[in-house]
Structure 1
Amino acid sequence: MHEGSRTANLLGAAALALSDVVVAEATRAASTSTSGAAALTVLSTDPGLSVTELGRRVGLSQSAAARMVDGLEKQGLVRKEASWGAWVRLRLSDLGVQTARTLLAGRSHVLRQALNRLDDSEREQLGQLLGKVLTGLYQQPGDAERICRLCDRCVCVRDGATCPVGQADRGHRASHEHDHG
């Protein structure tokens, strides 16, 4: 029992410490808020989202997302494109694309540094264990976007790998369709 509590406590401390350095690096690289950095990351792999959908993915209300997008637009990072009706699609500007790349490179650097004390075998084992932890954190549709809002999504699927959060999302959707189909 004690070892499980200790492991949970260590995980909590590591998660918080990593979150602190990742968020600090992301906001430094993007010269914006945490949600602004997440928005740039999301739009880098999923352009054309509405303000409302982008807000949902980064954990903001529609009004807060609109204010964030206005700020990103003023910085020259995001541009709005008319869609149908009153809908607006969001896309990164060239500066936004470069900023997102810089942000993800900085994020990758601080995370790789955190793993420096592990050898290749330990990093592989930790990757497998983290996949299980992330799968357990996934609860419902929409969690994948929230959990991975600052992820370099291309990394998780490189060389035929499967993102554990994406897999959990697909599994949940498939079982939901099966139950209701």
Structure 2
Amino acid sequence: MHDSDRLPNLLGAAALAITDRALANIAGATGVSASAAAAVVVLSASPGLGVTELGRRIGLSQSATARMVDSLEATGLARRAPGTGRLVLVTLTDRGRRTASTVLRTRDDAVAELLSGFGKEERVALEGLLGKLLARLYEDVGNADLLCRLCDRGCCVEGAVCPVGQAERDEAGR
């Protein structure tokens, strides 16, 4: 083992464990993969995306996204519709919209349970620190849609400024 700062190790372990917990709970509640979960959440916020744009937002190639959309169609979660020219638009079915809601609720429940032992002041402090961390992550990722692919967009902007959206606006203004 090498000498290092303990904080990155703790944060890395926590981030991985939280992700594993949330994705396992989502898969258990919905039966969909992590990429399918991201796709239904993205499509619930932005219906009618093309396959290529959907892939960009969830971090998959066009061909992998097309296969995933095939799977979403086969399970009755999404449907394709012709767009302009060769563009094919993807929208959610009613079942897909319910699945997106379940994904967000399940993710929130998995994380909220972990936060239940934190006091109000700790939660406020953690929220501020996570906002800074997400702004820094935006610098690395450079794509708010990809970074926030499993975010409840409405939740993040009610009574506050989304730190990722603000980082994106700051970058565009430079």
1:9 aligns with 2:9: yes
1:165 counterpart = 2:133: no
1:146-181 C-alpha deviation (Å, 9 max, x unpaired): 11111111111112x111011101111121xxxxxx
Q: Which runs of 5+ in 1 are unaligned?
A: 176-181
Alignment-mate amino acid for residue 157 of structure 1? V
Shift of 1:28: 2.4
Q: Report the more deviating stretch, 35-44 or 133-142.
A: 133-142
Partners of 1:29 and 1:88 in 2: CA distance: 29
User: 1:51–1:65: 8 Å Cα contact kept in structure 2?
Assistant: yes
Gaps of 5+ in 2: none
**2:71 is equivalent to residue 71 of structure 1:** yes
1:30-179 equivalences in 2 (<5 Å): 30-139=30-139, 142-159=142-159, 161-175=160-174
Distance in 2 between the 1:61 and 1:49 partners?
Answer: 15
Provide the rounded CA distance (Å) in 2 between the counterparts of 1:27 and 1:54.
Answer: 20
**What is the root-mean-square deviation in Å for CA atoms of aligned residues?**
1.4
How much does 1:32 deviate?
A: 1.4
- TM-score, reference length from structure 2: 0.94
The number of residues matched between the two structures is 171
Report percent identity of matched pairs.
50
The list of structure 1 runs, each at least 4 consecutive aligned residues, that deviate by more than 4 angstroms after superposition, is none
TM-score normalised according to structure 1 size? 0.90
Report deviation, 1:133: 0.6
